[in-house]
Amino acid sequence: MAFAGVNYLAVVVAAVLAFVFGAVYYGVLSKPWMKAARIEPKGSGGMMPPPGLLINSIVCELIMAWVLAAVLGAIGAAGIGAALSAAFFLWLGFIATTIAVNQRYQSYGWDLTVIDAIHWLGVALIMGAVIGWWM
């Protein structure tokens, strides 16, 4: 299931696992995240995002996994170790920095930045491991 060096099965599995990771991660950290994001919980439970946001998340994670697979293929990062290393540096250079800049301009505290950046680090590493496994 590869086309132009991208294994689409690996991309789908990576995106699904990253989505599940995010659901568990934010499920566990829902209260500190909502406090940091200045969101008032409705009712007694945590926040359940509307279906549109969930669809947006999985589509974006599919795109992210597809691009990561293409980048890993382009730089020849075969195997889990090389893929994890590349995923970490891509996270550090592009994801973590973007989150930090955007959330400073939005006047959020560093607590939200840390929570969100760790989530995206987990996503990048999960995707890197899955895609690297199949390279």
The residue ranges of every structural domain in the chain are 2-36+56-133
pTM of the model: 0.92
Q: Which helix (H) or strand (E) holds 7?
A: strand 6-7
Q: How far apart are CA 83 and CA 72, in angstroms?
A: 7
Which tokens is 46 given? 């945590």
Mark residue 4 as left, alpha or beta (left: phi above 0; alpha: psi -120 to 50; beta: remaining): left
pLDDT tens-place string over residues 64-84: 999 999 999 999 998 999 999
pLDDT tens-place string over residues 17-66: 999 999 999 999 999 999 999 998 776 555 677 889 999 999 999 999 99
The DSSP symbol for 91 reads I
Bridge partners of residue 2, in order along the sequence: 7
Q: Are 64 and 98 in contact (CB under 8 A)?
A: no
Confidence of residue 124 (pLDDT cuts 50, 70, 90): very high
